[in-house]
Amino acid sequence: MTDNETDLHKAARIVLPHLEELLDAAAAQKLRAALDAADDDTIVRLAESAPAVGDWLADYLDATASDLRAYDPLAGDAQPVAPSAVFRCPLGTLVWYRRFVGETPPRCPTHDVDLVRVEDEPPAP
């Protein structure tokens, strides 16, 4: 950005390659010619006459105007997320993962038996 280029001028320069996406070809060519030598007031008037371009400029200026964004971590000690509980059919045909604590596992649809939590299974011989 040059010393005398405003944020609005920079946005107007950056929107130029996108005009064909926002407008029909004739309107894009006309607006491109008008934006090249426009001052801030003219850019605002041109953006108001082409709402799609005005929205693009507003989004660009909003996204680039903010300073460095800080990250505030949540309160409390960070701890790893516990893995989901795994349940299995005792006859070995179904494995089911619990999505949230307290969710009741279904019965095995093949054998009509309760699923067993994998940690609770007896070790294999």
Percentage of the chain lying above the pLDDT 90 cut: 14
pTM exceeding the 0.85 threshold for the entire prediction: no
pLDDT at residue number 120: 58
For residue 25, list its beta bridge partners.
none
Query: For the segment 43-68, what is each residue's pLDDT rounded down to a tens digit?
Result: 898 889 899 999 988 888 888 776 66
Please name the residues in contact with 90: beta carbons below 8 A apart, sequence gap of 6 or more. 113, 115, 116, 121
35-63 burial, b at 16+ Cβ within 10 Å, e below that, comes to beebeeeebeebbeebeebbebbeebeee
pLDDT at residue number 3: 55
105: alpha, beta or left? (left if phi > 0; alpha if psi -120 to 50):
beta
pLDDT at residue number 1: 46
Sites in the chain below the pLDDT cut of 50:
1
